[in-house]
């Protein structure tokens, strides 16, 4: 076990004793939390197994909560109970974990088995009886502790590909009594072998405020480290920086016998020999899993699909997996010396990879006194990065004429920060005031912004304008938001898509929609020219919906019923293909001779198939299928079997 502590020379002996005490406490806690040989590996126990995903791997809006165990590329492998206990929860859903089983064990641990193809006979009979009793495919059950007892090594089901799985595998989790997920790799499973160290693909240095610079500019610079030996990387030349600068890492783990790239377990960063940042993802609560969106550079992920992990603690990040110095992991360089950085990346098996590089303090220089001539009416382009408004324009004339930012109607000068190519760059700390426009001089045309309001994190805030209201509650935001909104016809731009939300906001739109069209008109998110259903409830002439994503939204009318077609018709099996072209499938119901018939559903293949309460009875007679979309349109299929 690694222990991280930042130590100053004056307090070295004091902190050594504290560190040793915490080490003993952590060791004791780990031994009770991760009892070795208590859990049986759930797939082919005693044989070598391989992972396609590990605990803590970076996924959309969440950390992966367990292991994805390979099942030889097929379904139907036996899944074994890891220890004695009872089935405490069963959840069947179209997406997510699909067919999922939860087993509670006498020591308080809970093991989770997801994407199952089927359950064993006793569990399957119980689930099917409850689905028929409640007349629903999707169901969540909490059996009594005496109802479905299991022994270590019992086959509880077969591996599958149900729910949101991208291919056949078993999703396996271990949780404690507080529903915190624990890393299964720490339980000493001998079935997983790993002697391969993580890889470091790229790093980035980013200026964290308007006074900071990386290579003389405000912004973000990516670097590609080069191999310097076995599990060693370096950046050959020192990187010039100034002020408060953050380090980001694009890194992943490899394991023996597979080419999959998985998540790392931890990072440790030293600057001039002192630990300034350390992160170890050994356990976490689902309540804070969305903090992944501030643990990584979320905006960069949306642009490149690469998840750079921040090696500093961003504002609003509530994960408790970090140990940092007083600068929360950021490099603060305000001298002209060379500073040595060392980063260690490791996995759950303590395979390590190390990166060494240097940063050199270079203070910002005054911009050139003569810039390229151009039109004085050239507009400004702008962007918001954290608390900084970045303004760029083609230089209009000689000299360093400041930009005039209008804050509550009052012009405030902002000097040019530097010149980049043909662009003059101006920087403004928005905490000094929220500007509504900018011009080069009071006599030149102004460029207007769509910065509407400063929304504080941690409390309720209602933003109102003519066509929409946005209600933020105490948990909606990670950090202070500089809200941007626009409307173009029926499209509403609400915030910036590259700013993550912690929890949902409530949005109320006031569109001009005829009353008769409202019941089948809903809100859709616009992304890449495609519409995805966001829902909404009409209250008079207004429609209200909740969302966890900023972006562009519009309203669309869905009056088309879903598609349904009979594909297979035998005495033992009925299969239908279903789909919907806009709002999506909302509900599926089937009847045989007037009796409700359970239909299993795989949204990935658009297939549903019969699962009768008594499989010995032939499927003959009048079959009726009703498929309802989320707008309430119904497709009815009637067939004589």
Domain match, 216 and 277 both: yes
Residue 229 main-chain phi, psi, to 5 deg: 140, -175
Centre a 10 Å sphere on the Cβ of residue 224 and count the other Cβ atoms it contains: 11
Residue whose structure tokens are 């056949």:
168
329: enclosing H helix or E strand: none
Is residue 491 within 8 A of residue 467, CB to CB? The reply is no
Q: Which CATH number fits the domain that encloses residue 608?
A: 2.60.40.760
Is residue 366 one of the residues assigned to a domain? Answer: no
Provide φ and ψ at 201, rounded to 5°: -90, -45
Q: Are residues 355 and 286 in the same domain?
A: yes
Neighbours of 504 (CB within 10 A): 16
Q: Do 484 and 591 fall within a single domain?
A: no
Each residue's pLDDT tens digit, 212-264: 999 999 999 999 999 998 999 999 999 999 999 999 999 999 988 889 999 99
Instruction: Specify the CATH number for the domain of residue 459.
Output: 2.60.220.30
Please report the pLDDT score of residue 397 as a whole number. Answer: 55
Q: Is residue 269 part of a domain?
A: yes
Q: pTM of the full predicted structure? A: 0.90
Statement to judge: residues 213 and 328 lie in one domain: yes
Q: Output the average pLDDT for the chain.
A: 92
Q: What pLDDT, in 10s, does the model give residues 341-382?
A: 999 999 999 999 999 999 999 999 877 655 455 555 678 899
pLDDT tens sequence across 532-572: 999 999 999 999 999 999 999 999 999 999 999 999 999 99
- From the list 210, 203, 478, 212, the residue with the least C-alpha distance to 331 is 212
The answer to whether residues 252 and 338 belong to one domain is: yes
- For residue 134, give every residue at least 6 positions away whose Cβ sits within 8 Å of its Cβ, in sequence order, or none: none
Confidence of residue 12 (pLDDT cuts 50, 70, 90): very low
Q: 33 lies in a domain?
A: no
- How far apart are alpha carbons 8 and 15 in whole angstroms? 9
pLDDT of residue 373: 52
Residue 350 sits in the same domain as residue 465? no
State whether 230 and 347 are in the same domain: yes
CA–CA dist 558, 583 (Å, integer):
7
Same domain flag for 210 and 332: yes
Domain final residue, candidates 397, 421, 445: 445
Report the 3 state secondary structure along 1-13.
Answer: CCCCCCCCHHHHH
Residue 3 lies in a domain: no
What integer is the mean pLDDT of 197-211?
97
DSSP annotation of 291 reads: G
Q: How far apart are CA 95 and CA 92, in angstroms?
A: 9
Query: According to the model, what pLDDT value does residue 369 have?
Result: 55
Does the residue 46 lie in any domain? Answer: no
Q: Which tens digit of pLDDT belongs to each residue from 87-99? A: 999 999 999 999 9
| Residue of 580, 575, 540 lying closest to 560 (CA atoms) | 580
Quick one: pLDDT at residue 375?
A: 54
Answer yes or no: do 484 and 571 share one domain.
no
Task: Look up the domain containing 609 and give its range.
Answer: 563-640
| 13, part of any domain | no
> Final residue of a domain: which of 513, 532, 557?
557
Is residue 11 domain-resident?
Answer: no
Task: Give me the half-sphere count of Cα atoms (radius 13 Å) on the Cβ side of residue 348.
Answer: 25
Distance, in Å, from the CA atom of 337 to the CA atom of 191, rounded to the nearest integer, reads 50
Beta-carbon contacts of 611 under 8 Å, excluding residues fewer than 6 positions away, are 128, 598, 599, 600
Give the separation between CA 212 and CA 203, rounded to whole angstroms. Answer: 18
Indicate whether 217 and 166 sit together in one domain: no
Terminal C-alpha separation, the chain: 63
| Amino acid 393: pLDDT | 87
All residues at 6 or more sequence positions from 28 whose CB lies less than 8 Å from its CB, including other chains: none
SS3 556: strand
355 with 234: CB under 8 angstroms?
Answer: yes
SS3 427: strand
CA distance 470 to 452: 12
* Angle, alpha carbons 433-416-395 (nearest 5°): 120
Q: Which residue has the tokens 């504002």?
A: 315
CATH number of residue 69's parent domain? 2.70.70.10
Do 283 and 221 share a domain, yes or no? yes
Per-residue confidence (pLDDT) for residue 13, from 0 to 100 = 40
The residue among 528 and 372 whose pLDDT is bigger is: 528
Strand order in the sheet with 468-472: 461-464, 468-472, 500-509, 542-549, 537-539
Q: How many domains does the chain have?
A: 5
Q: Kindly state whether residue 163 falls inside one of the protein's structural domains.
A: yes
What is the average pLDDT across 82-110?
A: 97
Residues 277-312 pLDDT 10s? 999 999 999 999 999 999 999 999 999 999 999 999
Q: Which helix H or strand E contains 19, and what residues bound it?
A: helix 12-33
Question: Are residues 430 and 464 part of one domain?
Answer: no
Give the CA count within 13 Å in the CB-facing half-sphere of 90.
Answer: 27
Give bridge partners of residue 532 from the DSSP assignment: 525
Q: Examine the fold and report which residue of 508, 524, 557 is the final residue of a domain before the chain moves on.
A: 557
């Amino acid at each position: 076990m690694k222990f991280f502590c930042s130590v100053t020379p004056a307090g070295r002996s004091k902190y050594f004793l504290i560190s040793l005490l915490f080490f003993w406490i952590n060791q004791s806690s780990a031994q009770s939390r991760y009892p070795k040989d208590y859990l049986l590996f759930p797939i082919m126990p005693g044989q070598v197994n391989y992972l396609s995903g590990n605990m803590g791997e970076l996924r959309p809006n969440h950390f992966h909560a367990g292991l994805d165990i390979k099942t030889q590329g097929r379904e139907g492998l036996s899944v074994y109970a890891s220890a004695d206990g009872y089935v405490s929860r069963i959840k069947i859903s179209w997406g997510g974990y699909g067919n999922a089983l939860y087993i509670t064990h006498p020591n308080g641990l809970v093991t989770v088995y997801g994407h199952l193809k089927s359950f064993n006979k006793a569990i399957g009979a119980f689930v099917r009886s409850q689905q028929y009793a409640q007349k629903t495919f999707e169901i969540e059950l909490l059996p009594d502790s005496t109802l479905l007892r299991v022994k270590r090594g019992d086959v509880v089901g077969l591996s599958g590909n149900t729910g949101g799985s991208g291919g056949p595998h078993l999703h396996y989790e271990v949780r404690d009594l507080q529903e915190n997920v624990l890393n299964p790799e720490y339980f000493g499973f001998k079935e997983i072998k790993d002697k391969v160290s993580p890889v470091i693909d790229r790093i980035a240095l980013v200026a964290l405020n308007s006074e900071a610079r990386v290579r003389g500019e405000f912004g973000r610079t990516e670097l590609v480290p080069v191999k310097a030996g076995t599990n060693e990387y370096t950046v050959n030349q020192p990187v010039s920086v100034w002020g408060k600068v953050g380090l980001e890492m694009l890194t992943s783990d490899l394991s023996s016998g597979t080419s999959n790239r998985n998540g790392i377990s931890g990072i440790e960063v030293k600057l001039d020999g002192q630990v300034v940042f350390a992160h170890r993802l050994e356990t976490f609560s689902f309540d804070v899993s969305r903090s992944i969106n501030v643990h990584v550079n979320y905006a960069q992920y949306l642009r490149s699909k690469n998840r750079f992990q921040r090696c500093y603690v961003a504002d609003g990040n509530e994960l408790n997996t970090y140990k940092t110095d007083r600068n929360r992991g950021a490099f603060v360089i305000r001298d002209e010396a060379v500073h040595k950085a060392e980063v260690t990346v490791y996995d759950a098996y303590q395979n390590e990879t190390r990166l060494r590089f240097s940063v050199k303090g270079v203070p910002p220089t005054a911009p050139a006194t003569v810039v390229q001539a151009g039109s004085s009416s050239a507009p400004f382009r702008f962007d918001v990065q954290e608390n900084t408004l970045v303004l760029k324009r083609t230089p209009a004339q000689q000299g360093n004429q400041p930009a005039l930012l209008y804050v509550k109607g009052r012009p405030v000068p902002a000097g040019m920060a530097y010149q980049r190519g043909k662009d003059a760059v101006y920087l403004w700390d928005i905490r000094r005031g929220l500007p509504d426009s900018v011009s080069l001089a009071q006599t030149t045309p102004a460029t207007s912004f769509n910065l509407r309001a400063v929304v504080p994190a941690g409390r309720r805030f209602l933003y109102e304008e003519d066509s929409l209201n946005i209600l933020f509650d105490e948990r909606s935001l990670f950090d202070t938001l500089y809200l941007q909104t626009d409307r173009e016809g029926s499209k509403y731009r609400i915030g910036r898509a590259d700013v993550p939300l912690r929890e949902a906001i409530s949005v109320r739109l006031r569109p001009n929609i005829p009353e008769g069209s409202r019941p089948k008109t809903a809100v859709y998110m616009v992304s890449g020219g495609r519409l995805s259903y966001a829902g909404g409830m009409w209250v008079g002439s207004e429609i209200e919906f909740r969302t966890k994503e900023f972006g562009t939204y519009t309203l669309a009318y869905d009056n088309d019923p879903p598609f349904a077609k009979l594909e297979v018709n035998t005495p033992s099996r009925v299969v239908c293909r279903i789909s919907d072209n806009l709002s999506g499938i909302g509900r599926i119901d089937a009847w045989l001779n007037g009796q409700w018939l359970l239909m299993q559903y795989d949204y990935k293949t658009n297939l549903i198939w019969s699962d009768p309460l008594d499989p010995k009875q032939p499927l003959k007679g009048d079959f009726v299928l009703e498929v309802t979309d989320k707008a309430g349109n119904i497709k009815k299929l009637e067939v004589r079997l």
